[in-house]
Amino acid sequence: MRYRELGTGGPTVSAVGLGCMGMSTAYGVADDAESERALDRALDLGVTLLDTADAYGRGANEEFLGRWLRRRAADRERLVIATKFGLRHDPDTGRVDRVDTSAAHVRDACEASLRRLGVEHIDLYYVHRRDPAVPVEETVGAMAELVAEGKVGHLALSEISVGTLRRAHAEHPIAAVQLEYSLFTRDVVEGAMLEACRELGIAVVAYSPLGRGMLTGSITSTADLDGADNRRRWPRFAEENFGRNLALVDAVRAVAAELGCTPGQAALAWLLAQGEDIVPIPGTKKRRYVEENAAAAGLALTAEQVALLTRAVPEGAVAGGRYPDAALARLGH
């Protein structure tokens, strides 16, 4: 495993992290036993960045990770635990219905996450989504108090605008920005956002680096998805878009065959080649995919190979938006 620093003075983490959301929600039925084995294997392979959020299963994912952390208490200092706050759920439907980044909620949310995780401090604390009605200075100022108290190590933001990033960083140093970034989704990061991050010394944590699993090549039909899998209602998996996107995966598969790796490994290696300040966090609940993803950190692509993969998924070729409309409305503030 290779390691990278998250931002100027931020924590050192594995070049490939692990997204834990799917262990509890969104991607089909949970399997706690296999997910724990996946976490054990990740640690064995040197994966140290574990990513969760209070919104994942309305706290269930943090609680699950907390149980595992208690079992692996001796390894706590090797790990960088990242979690997020800001999304609130309707108590009746269980769906996210609003964003709350008020100063009061910052402290309440942090205390709740600390209890669920069973830890004394959160290594990397994110604003999951931002309420544009709340000044980011208020939110980050309250988060900075948690840093001063030793409850949080470093601050981060997710899915925000360049302007918000600059204002937040002026209030307190930001270590990382979490954004969707993959061969399928480049416009969110590349350009003004990446330029700002590099100017300010902020790392990019790339979530959904495998196009929500499509870039692995293992999904050939929506029938491959569990009935409870959220991807069934996402635009890129819709019937009218699915076939076009699978054709792009086939193009990535062809390049991967030349490289002697899997399509997913090629996609992760492509991201890693974009700069030492990029850290992908592919999500999985299965050991075999943990092993496959971690091995991508050992792949060193040439400039020509990077270009081949870039051309395999031309700009604008991916069909469908990256989120349903309601979720898209909460992005980029």
Q: Which tokens go with 102?
A: 């008020």
Name the strand (E) or helix (H) holding 328: helix 325-328
Q: Is residue 113 within 8 Å of 84, Cβ to Cβ?
A: no
Long-range contacts made by residues 327-333, C-beta under 8 angstroms, separation at least 24?
327/96, 330/87, 330/96, 330/99, 330/129, 330/159, 331/129, 331/159, 332/159, 332/160, 332/161, 333/129, 333/130, 333/131, 333/132, 333/160, 333/161, 333/164
Count of residues in the chain: 333
Residue with tokens 């601050």, as numbered in its chain: 155
Residues assigned a catalytic role: 56
Q: Which tokens go with 260?
A: 């002697």
SS3 assignment, position 38? helix
Q: Which of 112, 36, 19 is nearest to 72 (CA)?
A: 36
Residues in Cβ contact with 155 at an 8 Å cutoff, skipping those fewer than 6 apart: 124, 125, 126, 140, 143, 144, 147, 168, 172, 173, 174, 175
Q: Is residue 272 within 8 Å of 278, Cβ to Cβ?
A: yes
SS3 assignment, position 233? helix
SS3 assignment, position 19? strand
Q: Is residue 156 within 8 Å of 281, Cβ to Cβ?
A: no
